[in-house]
Amino acid sequence: AQSVTQPDIHITVSEGASLELRCNYSYGATPYLFWYVQSPGQGLQLLLKYFSGDTLVQGIKGFEAEFKRSQSSFNLRKPSVHWSDAAEYFCAVGGRNSGNTPLVFGKGTRLSVIA
Amino acid sequence: GAVVSQHPSWVICKSGTSVKIECRSLDFQATTMFWYRQFPKQSLMLMATSNEGSKATYEQGVEKDKFLINHASLTLSTLTVTSAHPEDSSFYICSARRPAGGPNEQFFGPGTRLTVL
């Protein structure tokens, strides 16, 4: 069965510091991988996605993520965090088939940014 | 492209009433739509998978008679919370998937905040 683990429930970083949010997945084959961000009371915004090709994926707002098959990981990174990055971040995995399989989400990591 | 809308964005209702939430794919046809529920500070919980022209598939523990889902067209799915109670208060999010053949990617609506008094 598919599953996504985000080990860190809450992370606090200083503004300007670098950020890495961890995501590990369990899937029988090469999955599609996604990172979403959610601000309080808002819907999900897609930050980036990995389907195939280059394992380092660039997204919006200066975020990037690297797919590491050997580690079953898809960690999200940003070199310099801004106060507006404070939000909830969700990693998700999807199957490559064309059926009705929904995305499976991790439990999320809440990011706080301090001055 | 690939925009999904939800209406209403928020709703407050009295206990015992029914509430309908619409999910629309604005610029593509969605053969499959998904409905999620999200409690405060928690992740998204899949409620059901909705396929155009057929009955929805509900996840274990989700009451079919409580949460009625209708996917009558390729661009519209509705979720009706029947006889709503305060414990149904939550954030409901839909997503839509492009027709088969493309990557398994879902596009999410902005969510609907339901408060039952």
Cα–Cα distance, B68 to B48 (Å, whole number): 10
Cα–Cα distance, B108 to B95 (Å, whole number): 4
Q: Which is nearest to B108 in space by CA: A47, A44, A60?
A: A44
- Cα end-to-end distance, chain B, whole Å: 37
Q: Which of B34, B101, B103 sits opposite A102 (nearest CB)?
A: B34
Q: Which residues of B touch A95 (CB under 8 A)?
A: 104
Cα–Cα distance, B84 to B99 (Å, whole number): 33
Please give chain B's pLDDT, 117 residues, in tens: 688 999 999 999 999 999 999 999 998 888 889 999 998 888 999 999 998 888 899 999 999 999 999 988 989 999 999 999 999 999 999 999 876 555 667 889 999 999 999
What is the pLDDT at residue B115? 96
pLDDT in tens, A13-52: 999 999 999 999 998 777 889 999 999 888 899 999 998 8
* DSSP-based three-state secondary structure for A44: strand
Amino acid residing at A103: L
Q: Does B29 touch chain A (CB under 8 A)?
A: no
